[in-house]
Every structure is written in C-alpha cells, then in structure tokens.
Amino acid sequence: MTVRAIQTSFAHLIRAFAEAAGFVVMAGVVWGVGGMGGCQSTGGHQGTSRDIHASYSFGTLTCDLGADVRVEEVASAGEEALRLRGYSVSSRTVTSDKARLEGRSAGDGWLEKAVVESWPTARGVRIRIKIEPWGDDTASRLILDDMLVMLGR
C-alpha cells in the first residue's frame, strides 16, 4: 500500500467519523430539546386553599384570577413576592391595563431574570410568570404562591 493510498483511506475514515459524530450531536440536541421539562405542559393548583389552577408550559406559568382583583393589585403583590424571593425589581411598568415587572437576583447572569406580567381578561386578570431565559416551574410557582397569599387567595 502506498503512502497516498494510506492518506486517502485515513481521510475517508476521518470524514466518516465526522459525519457520524455530527449525527450523534444533532440527535442529542433534538432529544435534549424535546425532553426539556419546559416543553411539557403541567398543571397544578395554587393558593392557600389550592383552588386556583395554574399551568406551566414552554417555560411560562399562567393562571387566571377573578374580576374582583385589579392589575395594579396583582403588580403590587408581584413586586413584594419578587423581593421576598430575593430579587431586586429592575424594571416596573404598571398601568390599569397591563403590568410588567422584571426582577434580578444577586449572582444571576445578564440574561437571567424573573418576569411577572398581568393584564385584564374578559373574566378577570391573567398572570404570567417566567424565569428567563429557560424557565423554572418550581421558582415560578413559589412566586405565584407568594403573590396569592398577599392577595388573600
């Protein structure tokens, strides 16, 4: 076997290995994204009497409250809940038709933050909580539970 034949065989072997490795990496990425907990929808009951349904899907926790609560009250409870959980409120926008709070905790990266939003719906007020950028079901539910306690729920 000549040197040229060995080099060609080696090059083919390396190319085949690289293609196989690329497939394994892509399969791992597809499996990893599909297997992320944030992509699965989970439901649960929140509040002191566990009568408020909250669903977690794609990294975001969402629940609806009745018409007896205003957006401003929800925002106030959200701000207190964030502080209680160790966040400092870095951004606050509150009107009668929409509220958005952003909280950062010490040691978080520049992308990491907790976002609490609320707005009126036909039946009351919707709350949405996300721990960005990836989502965290447990942390979101803890913030919501604190908010509901402050709202007397």
The answer to whether the predicted template modeling score (pTM) of the entire model surpasses 0.85 is no
β-sheet bridge partners, residue 62: 55, 128
CATH number belonging to domain 38-150? 3.30.310
pLDDT digits (tens, 9 = 90+) for 2-32: 666 666 666 666 776 656 555 433 433 333 4
Tell me whether residue 114 is exposed, middle or buried, using C-beta atoms within 10 angstroms of its C-beta: 0 to 12, 13 to 18, 19 or more: buried
pLDDT digits (tens, 9 = 90+) for 95-135: 999 999 999 988 777 889 999 999 999 999 999 999 999 99
pLDDT digits (tens, 9 = 90+) for 60-94: 999 999 999 999 999 999 999 999 999 999 999 99
Query: What are the residue boundaries of the structural domains of the chain, listed by start?
Result: 1-35, 38-150
